Each structure stands twice: as C-alpha cells, then as structure tokens.
A and B are shown apart, each in its own frame.
Chain A
C-alpha cells in the first residue's frame, strides 16, 4: 500500500538557518504530494503541494520539488523564523482515487530558537 516516510525528529535550529526536512514515498502511479503544517494548538493546514513530476510547490518561503526518480518531496526553506516552529507532515493522495484520501508521514517537530 501507499506510504510516506519522514526523517526522524525533532529538529532544532537557530533563526535564519537553512532547513531541509526529508520525505520519501511509496505509491503506485502518480500521486499528488503535500506538505501540511500544524501550529501549536491548531489543526493542520496546507503549506504547499505538487501534483506531477518535477512540479515545485512553494509558499511562505518554503519549497518542495516532486522527484519521481527518487520518490522524494523534501521540504526546504532558506532562512527559518521563530514563527515557523510547528509540526510538519508530508502526505500523498492517489491521483486515480475517487476522493482525496491522504496518507500521512509521522510528522516532525521543528523548533526555531531566536
């Protein structure tokens, strides 16, 4: 079945540091790929998505590129801020599915120090 693997956490960075969070997936066909973010005390919200190979999703300074050859969708940001402290989830949804049922990774907690 479909699965998503995220790097182990938590991750602690200083403000303005470079961020990479690794995500790899296993799926048949051409899934859509997502990064969701959960700020403290809130539900999840979409950060960015990509729906086909070589697409780059971007939002709020974060980027991720859909790499079919390596089955990866790594999240990057050039300069993190304290306000980026949150839990980040990588997820996929099968394109051929009749609905947008997501399979999530385990999530990784990011803490950014001033």
Chain B
C-alpha cells in the first residue's frame, strides 16, 4: 500500500524553538506539498515542491521554510515557532508534472499536530 508518512503525530514545542516536520513518500512522486489545517479555515498551502531542491511558496509561507534534498523526503521548518503556528500540518504528494497534472490525485499523510506554548 502506498504511503505518505509523517514522522511525528503530536509535538509540543515552546515559543522560539526551531521545529522540523518530516514527510516521506514511497511512491516516487514528483510533487510534494505542505498544508496547514485550522478549524473554519480549511486547508491552506504553505509550500510545495515539484522536484528535488525545487520549492515554491504557497498561500501562507511566512514563518516557514522547506527542504527537499531527496525525492522522497520533504521537510517543513519553523525557524522560530510562535503560538499562532499551533495547528495540524498535513503533507501530501502527487504524481506527474506538466499540462494535465492537475487531474492527478494527492495522497495525504495522517498529519502532525503541533502545539506551541
């Protein structure tokens, strides 16, 4: 069964700490995504990557950075965590690039719930 695995289901961090959220997929997908999910706001795209070492900002990139050194791994980094970054973070991946890739399905991980105190 194909999988997107997020390394931590629950994390509790303190304001100002550096936080790493790791995501690994075993489907050889080109595209990987980080979303955050908040009640009443749905899912909002933070960053995405369509190739190794490539990244593009999503709708809410402020306060976050990403790293994609290998095709299967996409990391989300909070350089200095703040309380307003308390949220559920969802990683996803998908196959294919180019025209028509928008029809391809995203496969999601189970999520990482981050609490910043």
Contacts and interface: CB of A to CB of B under 8 A. Distances in A.
Interface residues of B, number: 32
Interface string B69-91: 00000000000000000000010
A102 interface: yes
Query: Chain A interface residue count: which class?
Result: 20 to 34
Contacts of A95: 99-100, 102-103
B54 to A, nearest CB: 10
B48 A101 contact: yes
Contacts of B43: 44, 89, 102, 104, 107
Contacts, number: 83
Given A89-B43, A95-B100, A100 B106 contact: yes
Question: DSSP class of A's interface residues: helix, strand, loop or mixed?
Answer: loop
Nearest to B38: A106
Given A43-B110, A49-B105, A89-B42, A100 B90 contact: no
B101 interface: yes
Interface of A: 31-32, 34, 36, 41-46, 49, 51, 89, 93-107
